[in-house]
Structure 1
């Protein structure tokens, strides 16, 4: 029996990384000869949306009991500082350093007496600690643009992993640009995407109260309301330019996140409440994607945005910013969808206008996407994963 431990800091949140983790857990759990354990760090202010989707026979180990943790005097102080608008950057840095130190102690205590054959660091959360952790094989999964992580952590420690899983060619190149000796450790593996599940969920009925929304002509985005990563300023700017030219379209945005209030304020300031409509998070966004005219993705950096592939599975054309890393790989450098410049409202506005006005272009993308999607079939990625885990 091979003991495989998967560590995640963010993987139970509703989003691309979370959905990728759920599919991997499901697929690995179907294999014989392995025992899976999921180690989860419960962070402050973090909601675990996907806990009930973890297969029931996989043990979940929490580093922190959330209620007990949040009742600690120190943690209450930390929470107050982190949420206060008056807190200085130095105070916030100190508090986050304390939190990281607590996490480090908890990780070592949790894993100390465990017999680990394979330890998978699913979101690079163990990078600074990996050298001191014991496992026969250590694997890291790079789901995002690696240069957003603290350079002193990943550049000094990524060499201590036996394998580095990347989700696109661009990501591999970025790592090799920083350290050419890692080439034999890097494995490109597209996230496991269950095509049948996406199609099946897209056919589910939406609540009666939402039917009038979904029957309208609209375009859609599904992304976290986080302005640090997602480029809402450019998206809002694009709609401002379109409205100035007399081009109006309803654009539904599905997702939740820390910057909802500031995004909403910017939408109101630009009189775009009837164009940009925040619908909040939805456990099943697929009927909304399927019934849209096309999908728009505006971001400053990515890893492999699964939602772009999911839109293509549902025969929905895609516009995406050409940010590092992922969209260019998924859209085959602009052959399978429209890639626009980062942080360029004018370029995005032109792409939206073109897709709105030219039905022929939308139909061409739908046809081309069918053949291209073979690249992202789950079976292909699963075989690669089994090879890395020595399960074949």
Structure 2
């Protein structure tokens, strides 16, 4: 009989964790293992079309709504879940006081979706998914992932410190992230290690050739008019540095640089859109929203810019490297895990002027730009073999 494996993720919305989950599952041996995916929330799903066909998708709308906001209260009432409705109200109040307690309450309210005893369960999202996995699901081995530098995201420490000691392993995505977890959880140090986000060059190149319709024609015309095409992927918010990108755009425009900057992602902070308009940048910044396949946009761009304030290890940047684009990236704490300045990217300070200066340097210094591209072409890595680190827990 095939061994049974369950992966758990909050959603397949836009974002690096969702994309990383899809890449992992496409590298996973679904012929050898009977594989299921518990998807807690379908709202905003953009990646499910890329799931391997023989993965069993598990979804229970009750889980989505106990994780939801005030809109979910109506759904729970209509469907007769009166106690859960009270629980969600309590959780919304608790979330203002204690994120760990609110997250543990969500896990308690989440119904058991399977009575199967799995050989391996992989929590890919952390927090309430971790607590739910530990308390309500049965498995021989249970593994959790944390996708960032814990020192930048320690809001759930008071709950995590109870649950991390009882899982079999904790994976994270870079050495800095490993060191951070070990510092916060020294009693778990022996079971913390790296499993990189999987980026398959074959899959990414194939998807980069997909058509994006009329936008390709628009980009070609923009280039013919002398514009440099910039591209940034991420949730449009200050955490991802989009305020820096807007400031850089203003500087570029005032200095006579012809450019179009494509922003790919969900708008999380609406006031940034007003910032764009107030600076007169509506013609320079192109908001294309969430894209399940961003690779054609990267492929059509001249420079990829990543202005983030913090990252675990950015999968968007790994993808830009595979597509061999010159990259400008801010000096966040884990940037050294992916880049060496002026070798495979330009690393700049976290402000709009530094971003603008680096962009201008790449535009004007063709030799530097080509040297970055050549290095990336010579150092493309396929890390699909990272899945073997999970196989070790079931073989």
TM-score range, shorter-chain basis?
0.7 to 0.9
Partner of 2:5: 4
What are the superposed Cα offsets for residues 290-341 of structure 1, whole Å, 9 maximum, x if unpaired? 121110011122222111121121111111112243x321114663111222
Partner of 2:251: 241
What are the superposed Cα offsets for residues 28-58 of structure 1, whole Å, 9 maximum, x if unpaired? 24341x2112112127xx3122233322332
Partner of 1:331: 339
Task: Kindly tell me the number of residue pairs found equivalent between the two proteins.
Answer: 371
In the superposition, the TM-score normalised over structure 2's length comes to 0.83
| SS of corresponding position for 1:7 | strand
Partner of 1:207: 213
Partner of 1:73: 77
Match of 2:180 among 158, 174, 185: 174
| Conservation of the 8 A alpha-carbon contact between 1:63 and 1:103 | no
Q: CA deviation at 1:67?
A: 8.6
Judge which range, 314-323 or 122-131, deviates more: 122-131
CA distance in 1, matches of 2:194, 2:65: 39
Q: CA deviation at 1:187?
A: 2.2
Partner of 1:86: none
Q: CA deviation at 1:100?
A: 4.5
Aligned Cα root-mean-square deviation (Å): 3.2
Q: CA deviation at 1:170?
A: 1.3
Judge which range, 102-111 or 302-311, deviates more: 102-111
Residue 345 and residue 178 in structure 1: after superposition, are their counterparts in 2 closer, same or farther (change >3 A)? same
| SS of corresponding position for 2:28 | helix
Match of 1:60 among 52, 57, 61: 57
Match of 1:381 among 360, 373, 386: 386
1:25-64 pair list within 5 angstroms: 25-32=25-32, 34-42=33-41, 46-64=43-61
Partner of 2:163: 157
In the superposition, the TM-score normalised over structure 1's length comes to 0.84
1:205-354 pair list within 5 angstroms: 205-208=211-214, 210-215=216-221, 216=223, 217-227=228-238, 229-259=239-269, 261-325=270-334, 327-332=335-340, 335-342=343-350, 344-354=351-361
| SS of corresponding position for 1:247 | coil
Partner of 2:121: 119
| Conservation of the 8 A alpha-carbon contact between 1:167 and 1:191 | yes
Q: Structure 2, unaligned stretches of length 5 or more?
A: 67-71
Q: CA deviation at 1:23?
A: 2.1
Partner of 2:69: none
Residue 155 and residue 353 in structure 1: after superposition, are their counterparts in 2 closer, same or farther (change >3 A)? farther
| SS of corresponding position for 2:96 | helix
Q: Structure 1, unaligned stretches of length 5 or more?
A: 83-88
